[in-house]
A and B are shown apart, each in its own frame.
Chain A
Amino acid sequence: MSLTLARLRGPNSEGLLVAVIVVIVVAMSFASPAFFTASTFFALVRSSMVPLIFALGVLLVLISGGIDVSFLAIGIFAAYASVKWAIDGSADQGPLMVFAIAMAVGALLGLLNGVVIARFRLPTLIVTLGTQSIFKGALIAYVGSVYISAARLPASVNELSRAHVVDVRGGGYLHFMIVPVAIVAVLVALLLRRTVFGRSIYAIGGDTEAARRVGIRVVRTQILLYVLVGALAAFGGVLHVILGRNANPQSLVGTELDIIAAVVLGGASIFGGRGSVLGTVLGVVLVQLINNNLVLLGIPSTWQRAAVGMLLLLGVGVQAIAAGRARRRTVAVEQPVEPKEVLA
């Protein structure tokens, strides 16, 4: 029985998250008839897309044993720069070009992070705290500080911001961008599970010194990782611009912890080496579910942040307890298993 329970819980407590989400959905459906509708669902998807893309980047960094707080600065830098250049340019090159340029810029900024972190073996938090300020400052100083409204966005980008795949008349619509977002999520999952590069990231997060000893090229892997995370962040930034239908250089930066919280809730270990795309998707959905709908349960919106904070503590707490249990298991090797242990 314990085996099936363990399997349901999943390697990163994904099962637990599903259970929590189901409980909240059921509770909200009872509390408000307006909740269980397609429009609520589409709104949830829409609000989860941007955080999810950023969260995937954070997931990669967390697995490798680091922590990144510069991804939103990279995201808005790359997106704003790309959109601004598209406007300044002669002809509208289309949204694909906006994405491509932004991701190139993001990759470049990520490269900077990666080189500093991997070459000089500096703590990731400190490095990214520094680059976050640099990126934000450089954006305002050299690229632009002007708010770009929907009217001034390239026509093709504007058009894309209204595209949709499903339209329930009067009941909202499912935004088109869910398609590329889903593809990116699947690609990251494949990268992590099926490539030597992905497994190397887990190995580095598990034990960097051991990784070096078995011949993993740690520096190269880390640099490549931050380049990738930079490009992902840029994708998230452009997505943010498209969905918000404006490009504001002052936006995004400052909400890093919400994203990190969602990833940690999704089972990624803050100590590195653990985490999954599925868990991250669930973590993001859970946080958005609470952010969007707590009001329905009669809880004032001012409590939203507190609720997210409590969830985070809960998530980390579950991790810590699980880690403690694993340690006990390894100590008591030759002891017969007691019935009490099985239940737990």
Chain B
Amino acid sequence: MTPSAAPILEVRDVVKTYGGVRALKQVSLELLPGEVHCLAGENGSGKSTLIKIISGVEKPDSGTVAIEGQIHHHLTPNDAIHSGVQVIYQDFSLFPNLTAAENIAMLSELAEGRKISSRARIRAAARRVVEELGLRLDLEADVIDLPVADRQLIAICRALVNDAKVLIMDEPTTALTHTEVDRLFDVVRRLQERGVAVMFVSHKLDEVLRISQRVTVLRNGEVVQSGPASEYTARSIAKAMTGRDVSEERLVSALAPDASVLMEVHNLSRAGGFTEVSFALRAGEILGITGLLGSGRAEIAEAIFGIHPADSGSISVAGKERRIRSIRDAVSAGIGYVPEDRLTQGLFLDVSIADNIIASSLDSYRTRTGLLDRRRIRDSIAGLFRRLRIQAPNVGAVVRSLSGGNAQRVVIAKWLDRKPAVLILNGPTVGVDVGSKEQIIGILREQAAAGVGIVIISDDIPELVTSCHRVLVVHEGRIVAELSGEQIDAQEIERRMAA
């Protein structure tokens, strides 16, 4: 990379207004060939709007986008693709029913305007890209049968099959484990060597710093800072994004020595999932369960909540043994569960915030006559809405319109309204920006202080370090380490996870 190289992509003074709200105010940005440029910003800061403008999906009100020095006044998605701009969306936009090879090479067949599709040609084109990047992929497998990490690589290969010059990656690491992230970064470095400019969008700031050469931070539609990555730390980026100091320090209040045991799990096993898992959770405690993707960490939570019940072992809540064979059993035992994929599993997207909050606790609002006590419902909704600081015009807003962090708050509110004894959260801050993340962890701390037992399933190590009293590390379905107090430290957890 030569610093004097002409920018491959130049965004100049772009303004975009949506119904009176200025999403982007005079944003300028340039990408040099062979550089990895991180675009950071909170949800709603204008990142996605900027990506949409660069990829031709949206038109700017004013300002220009130039690709290789050529200014495009009416950039369409097809223009952008033909000029070498490729976007890898967060959901990858792959075809689950087609093979990896077809997913990779279909684009080039279309671009060449072919009528007849040839398996041999598709396979050859796909293999060429895969080998160039030095990857190992089963090209004949249907994408639905492949793990997320492979899907990510397929999306990258697809973008490159047509000689992309600019590659925009939107949250590429959310679904990947640490080793998979390393592999992805190797691929990104190889792209750099080929002179591809990569725009990297991620909430995981430590990863951003590892891979990027330059950082641009957006806040409220404006570029607030831009400079070489070497001048930034995760903390300074977070500060630029939010405009305030965000603490990632360990903040754990001491447990009362006489805190009662809320839940006890004994010798829980499920074939193909986990083996002989035992632990106790005390009132007011935040317990982290971590491990690599596929280690069984999520399966443990799903067994305790009755989604995929355990084959053997016992679970006691508040000193009483409970048989949990279904979600109903778990709920009546006082267990709440916030799933990882909250958009599909935890929320009614097209229903108001208010209705979502009371969805699982309607029974408790029944009056003696069997009707619903509307006033009490209104009060608790308003209370939770305020307490969790959900940012929306009002409780009638549809959940689909909320950002990731706010949607997550609604799910948590829904469970808090049931007043559970134990609340299990799977990946509580996945896809949530730093500012919201801190607030969500704050809410969990408050709940713990009020006596709820909290279990966080996560592979976001900094998040575990800041919030957990104890951390259990799961490896191949077994608890291999229990860390507490001083032992809870990022390097230590990482070492145990990989062991």
A196 x B294 contact (CB < 8 A): no
B115 x A215 contact (CB < 8 A): no
CB within 8 Å for A210 and B294 given contacts A215-B78, A330-B146, A333-B147: no
Specify which chain B residues have a CB less than 8 angstroms from the CB of A330 in the assembled complex.
Answer: 144-148
Looking at chain B, what size class is its interface with the partner chain? Answer: 35 or more
In the complex, identify which listed stretch (A197-205, A226-234, A242-250, A295-303) lies at the interface while the others stay far away: A197-205
A199 x B102 contact (CB < 8 A): yes
Q: Of B115, B145, B477, which is within 8 A of A196 by CB?
A: B115
**A213 CA to B298 CA, complexed, in Å:** 32
Chain A's interface: helix, strand, loop or mixed, by majority? helix
Nearest CB of B to A221, in Å: 11
B114 x A196 contact (CB < 8 A): yes
B96 x A197 contact (CB < 8 A): no
Residue of A nearest to B87 (CB): A213
Specify which chain B residues have a CB less than 8 angstroms from the CB of A193 in the assembled complex.
Answer: 117
Q: Does A206 contact B (CB under 8 A)?
A: yes
Q: Does B98 contact A (CB under 8 A)?
A: yes
B144 x A202 contact (CB < 8 A): no
Nearest CB of A to B291, in Å: 10
A334 x B144 contact (CB < 8 A): no
Q: Does A121 contact B (CB under 8 A)?
A: no
Q: Does B5 contact A (CB under 8 A)?
A: no
Q: Does B191 contact A (CB under 8 A)?
A: no
CB within 8 Å for A215 and B95 given contacts A195-B115, A334-B295: no
* Per-position binary interface string of chain A over residues 326-339, scored 1 when its CB falls under 8 Å from any chain B CB and 0 otherwise: 10011111111010
Nearest CB of B to A73, in Å: 29
Specify which chain A residues have a CB less than 8 angstroms from the CB of B292 in the assembled complex.
Answer: 334
Specify which chain B residues have a CB less than 8 angstroms from the CB of A183 in the assembled complex.
Answer: none
CB within 8 Å for A196 and B110 given contacts A215-B78, A335-B476: yes
**A333 CA to B145 CA, complexed, in Å:** 10
Q: Of B95, B144, B148, which is within 8 A of A210 by CB?
A: B95
Count residues on chain A whose CB falls below 8 Å from chain B CBs.
36
B148 x A273 contact (CB < 8 A): no
Residue of A nearest to B272 (CB): A338
A207 x B93 contact (CB < 8 A): yes
* Per-position binary interface string of chain B over residues 128-150, scored 1 when its CB falls under 8 Å from any chain A CB and 0 otherwise: 00000000000000001111110
B117 x A194 contact (CB < 8 A): yes
Q: Of B77, B109, B111, B294, which is within 8 A of A331 by CB?
A: B294
Q: Once A and B bind, how many residue pairs between them come within 8 Å at the CB atom?
A: 97
Q: Of B77, B271, B293, B298, which is within 8 A of A334 by CB?
A: B293
Specify which chain B residues have a CB less than 8 angstroms from the CB of A213 in the assembled complex.
Answer: 77, 87, 89, 93
* Per-position binary interface string of chain A over residues 164-205, scored 1 when its CB falls under 8 Å from any chain B CB and 0 otherwise: 000000000000000000000000000001111111101101
Specify which chain B residues have a CB less than 8 angstroms from the CB of A194 in the assembled complex.
Answer: 116-118
Q: Does B107 contact A (CB under 8 A)?
A: yes
Residue of B nearest to A11 (CB): B142
Q: Does B456 contact A (CB under 8 A)?
A: no
Residue of A nearest to B149 (CB): A333
CB within 8 Å for A210 and B116 given contacts A215-B107, A332-B294, A340-B271: no
Q: Does A127 contact B (CB under 8 A)?
A: no
Specify which chain A residues have a CB less than 8 angstroms from the CB of B114 in the assembled complex.
Answer: 196
**A211 CA to B114 CA, complexed, in Å:** 16
Nearest CB of A to B183, in Å: 14
Q: Does B94 contact A (CB under 8 A)?
A: yes
Q: Does A341 contact B (CB under 8 A)?
A: yes
Specify which chain B residues have a CB less than 8 angstroms from the CB of A274 in the assembled complex.
Answer: 97
**A211 CA to B272 CA, complexed, in Å:** 36
Q: Does A214 contact B (CB under 8 A)?
A: yes
Q: Does B106 contact A (CB under 8 A)?
A: yes
**A207 CA to B151 CA, complexed, in Å:** 15
**A210 CA to B154 CA, complexed, in Å:** 14
**A100 CA to B228 CA, complexed, in Å:** 69
Q: Does A150 contact B (CB under 8 A)?
A: no
Q: Of A195, A206, A340, which is within 8 A of B96 by CB?
A: A206
**A107 CA to B149 CA, complexed, in Å:** 44
Residue among A196, A326, A329 having the largest count of chain B Cβ atoms under 10 Å: A196
**A244 CA to B396 CA, complexed, in Å:** 61
Residue among A193, A198, A269, A273 having the largest count of chain B Cβ atoms under 10 Å: A273
A209 x B98 contact (CB < 8 A): no
* Per-position binary interface string of chain B over residues 476-490, scored 1 when its CB falls under 8 Å from any chain A CB and 0 otherwise: 110000000000000
Q: Does B81 contact A (CB under 8 A)?
A: yes
Nearest CB of B to A194, in Å: 6
Given contact pairs A196-B115, A199-B102, A206-B98, enumerate 19 new A-B contacts (beta carbons under 8 Å). A193-B117, A194-B117, A195-B115, A199-B109, A202-B95, A203-B106, A206-B95, A213-B93, A214-B106, A214-B158, A215-B77, A215-B107, A215-B110, A216-B110, A269-B97, A273-B96, A326-B144, A334-B292, A335-B296
Q: Which 4 A-B pairs have the closest CB atoms?
A: A273-B97, A334-B294, A206-B95, A210-B93
What are 17 pairs between A and B in contact, CB < 8 Å?
A194-B116, A196-B115, A196-B116, A199-B117, A202-B95, A206-B95, A206-B98, A214-B93, A215-B78, A215-B107, A273-B97, A326-B145, A329-B145, A330-B145, A330-B148, A331-B294, A336-B476
